[in-house]
Amino acid sequence: MEYIQGLEGLYINDETAVTLGKFDGLHRGHQKLIRRTRGFARQGLKSVVFTLDFNRKGMLLTREERRAMLEKQGVDYLVECPFLPEVAHMEPEEFIRGILAEKLHAREVIVGADFHFGYERKGDAHLLMELQKIYGYEAEIIKKETYNGREISSTYIREALEKGEMELAKDLLGYPYFVSGEVLHGRHMGGRLLFPTTNLIPTTRKLLPPNGVYVSRTHLEDGRILGGMTNIGYKPTVGEKFRGVETYLYDVDEDLYGADIRVELLHFIRPERKFESLDALREQMEKDIACGKEFLK
Ligand SMILES: Cc1cc2nc3c(=O)[nH]c(=O)nc-3n(C[C@H](O)[C@H](O)[C@H](O)COP(=O)(O)O)c2cc1C
Ligand SMILES: Nc1ncnc2c1ncn2[C@@H]1O[C@H](COP(=O)(O)OP(=O)(O)O)[C@@H](O)[C@H]1O
């Protein structure tokens, strides 16, 4: 996958099928658009995912995570376009002519039914249809996927995550919600006094479900997948300044510092609490660990 950031230097010397959107989460609706876009490979078109990125908090995927997922899905080009004033102020037709037609050589343009673009969000699916002959592409409008009678959207998924509804989030995303990163050193109390844990400190832009304990599944770089119990939060019993994601893994005993791991959060068990003593915390962690083992069976 070739990766292009911003509009400067944007030029693809192929004929393409382009899908446009915000693509936060790459949920089931997004995946439908991407599958359709990649399908035009049969007609000799390269696939382009063109993302309009807002610098917001509460991202479902970090840029790195999204990039890695698109790479795996076999997308040919990823264009990450920050939502800068010059983009926000572009007349919709200027976007179609200047970017889709001239820079991307789009022959197919695939968008969701509610996609908007350009100045004052005036550009929409209808305009893309109207102008297709003039600019030499075919527009395809994809109906939104629904779940429980509601359209799947990043907002729907954020709401589920904010309530700790990991099963619902998984059904909407099409994959379990996860946190990824490099295993960092903590205070080294776990191994000596409690249980050893792999510590991740996600960017504060990544949306995390409520602080608490979760059944999880961790993917290691070598392909191993390990069950575990994850605590999200500030560890009030010992007091921590940052919001961490730390996981006790079943059935391993090895040094994982520096490893890149992906922790899938499967099921919420209980909120994080402050305990009177490390002994009381350890007792609770033993129960959590037994409970998670049962769940993973
Ligand atoms: C399953 C599990 C549950 C946990 N629950 C809590 C909790 O409720 N309150 C808390 O303060 N810390 C909780 N912790 C975090 C521990 O305080 C932490 O593992 C310990 O302080 C070791 O930290 P270290 O990795 O920096 O050495 C939990 C950790 C795990 C793995
Ligand atoms: N079963 C296990 N689950 C998680 N980490 C483990 C396990 N066994 C060994 N480790 C290692 O122990 C480290 C955690 O030990 P810990 O004493 O909690 O230190 P830290 O405070 O740095 O997290 C992990 O980063 C990992 O390398």
- Binned at pLDDT 50, 70 and 90, residue 85 comes out as confident
Give the up-direction half-sphere exposure of residue 267: CA atoms within 13 A in the CB hemisphere: 12
| Residue 60: partners with Cβ closer than 8 Å, 6 or more residues away | 24, 25, 27, 154, 157, 158, 161, 173, 177, 207
Which option is the CATH number for 176-296: 3.30.565.10, 2.40.30.30, 3.40.50.2000, 1.10.3720.10? 2.40.30.30
Instruction: Sort residue 9 into left (φ over 0), alpha (ψ -120 to 50) or beta.
Output: left
Q: What is the mean pLDDT of residues 23-38?
A: 97
Give the up-direction half-sphere exposure of residue 208: CA atoms within 13 A in the CB hemisphere: 24
ipTM of the complex: 0.92
Q: Domain 2-150 classified CATH 3.40.50.620?
A: yes
Is the CB of residue 220 below 6 angstroms from any atom belonging to ligand 2? no
CA of 246 to the centre of ligand 2 (A): 9
Residues 207-228 have pLDDT tens digits of: 999 999 999 999 999 999 999 9
Q: Is 279 helix (H, G, I), strand (E, B) or coil?
A: helix
For ligand 2, atom 12, name the residue with the nearest CA.
Answer: 196
Residue 190 has pLDDT above 90, yes or no: no
Domain ranges of the chain: 2-150, 176-296
Is the CB of residue 209 below 6 angstroms from any atom belonging to ligand 2? no
Q: Token pair for residue 254?
A: 């090895």
Average pLDDT of the chain, as a whole number: 95
CA of 242 to the centre of ligand 1 (A): 13
Q: Is the separation of the CB atoms in 263 and 230 below 8 Å?
A: yes
Ligand 1 proximal residues by C-beta, below 6 Å: 186-190, 194-195, 197, 199, 213, 229, 231, 235-238, 246, 248, 272-274, 281, 285, 288
pTM: 0.95
**What is the separation of C-alpha 260 from the centre of its chain, rounded to a whole number of angstroms?**
16
Measured CA to CA, the distance from residue 1 to residue 264 in angstroms comes to 25
For ligand 1, atom 22, name the residue with the nearest CA.
Answer: 190
